[in-house]
Structure 1
């Protein structure tokens, strides 16, 4: 092998090692506490369980914050159904099924407003969710089909897994610009944290 060929091989090997090191370094230094969405200057990510009374209690305050901040703050709701809540996973799928027909937010609202009727039950509340879909004017046949859609269920479970990796252990859990919010998620406390992030 000529001297030039050997030198070329060494250069190629060094470049490969540098590239591999860069890729590995980039991968290991992803320290974002929770996934962030683009859009607003501040992103609020909430992990919730549709059957959780604390999530229901926080919901009106979150709605108020959304209307007050408008486009300055991006609110991103993700599912974290707790296994001990018999209908939480199906409720999350129902919300996404409603979303397929453009009524995700409306189903969220109705689910929380009627939570005391269906939450805490040890039998499937599928029929109640189909009734809710009808009340929202959805195509109930398409909605029922979507409730059995494995892709929607996988989306919900993937969000729960993602939340667990981000440090979510209970609901509701909020992240503001990737930083986990601590304390009771009252309207005033969340507003204060958002204002601080905006300033």
Structure 2
């Protein structure tokens, strides 16, 4: 009887521990996630590529630098930024997808560059070279550091920013707020605060035209 009861008892204890650990993880994640009611599409510290003033149409993109769809949409975005220059304010927010090894590394590199006022330069470099490092199963943080060197950044300041936990927290804040806003994939666009469903290549431009 004892030989039968002991394994059952151990199994029960293991199940209880698993349930408790899962519940704690759920509660911690829930506690850390922003309240959807207080989540904002754009914040004061969001990275603005183009600022056309208070009356302009505001486009916010949640992106992952490693995302192939983001990379494919990058030239479309650049064309629209040029075509509607002076009419739209374009804002970038991070949404590193968990399935990509270098999504967070690349976002941290961009944020480190942003601390030196060079966000847009790193933004371009990461998308222009995505085919070289995207989908890699090993960290490309050192490669991103060479981009910083090429851009002429202060490397002591860059390295300090990459190592600073506040930099990763800044990236995570965008991600968490994106989730609270219903973002689940990249790229996700908001036009004047309204989420946009992309089904065709010109959907973003049509939304901009309608808002104008």
Give the TM-score taking structure 2 as reference length: 0.74
Residue 41 of structure 1 deviates from its aligned partner by 2.4
Compute the RMSD of aligned alpha carbons.
2.2
Deviations 1:16-48 (A, max 9, x none): xxxxxxxxxxxx995988347773421111000
Q: Does 1:195 align with 2:209?
A: yes
Aligned to 1:15: none
Candidates 131, 156, 167, aligned match of 1:141: 156
2:99 alignment partner, SS class: coil
- Structure 1 distance, partners of 2:207, 2:186, is 18
1:70 alignment partner, SS class: coil
Residue 168 of structure 1 deviates from its aligned partner by 0.4
Aligned to 1:107: 122
Number of equivalences: 170
Residue 104 of structure 1 deviates from its aligned partner by 0.7
Candidates 163, 168, 191, aligned match of 2:178: 163
Deviations 1:122-142 (A, max 9, x none): 111111011111111112232
The structure with more radius of gyration: 1
Residue 73 of structure 1 deviates from its aligned partner by 0.9
Q: Does 1:92 align with 2:110?
A: no
1:71 alignment partner, SS class: coil
- Structure 2 distance, partners of 1:128, 1:32, is 34
1:29–1:52 distance in 2 versus 1, CA, 3 Å: closer
The structure carrying a bigger helix percent of its residues is 1
- Structure 2 distance, partners of 1:88, 1:42, is 28
1:43–1:124 distance in 2 versus 1, CA, 3 Å: same
- Structure 2 distance, partners of 1:110, 1:140, is 17
- Structure 2 distance, partners of 1:35, 1:139, is 28
Deviations 1:62-96 (A, max 9, x none): 11211222232111110000111111011101001
Give the TM-score taking structure 1 as reference length: 0.78
Asked whether the 8 Å contact 2:65–2:71 carries over to 1, the reply is: yes
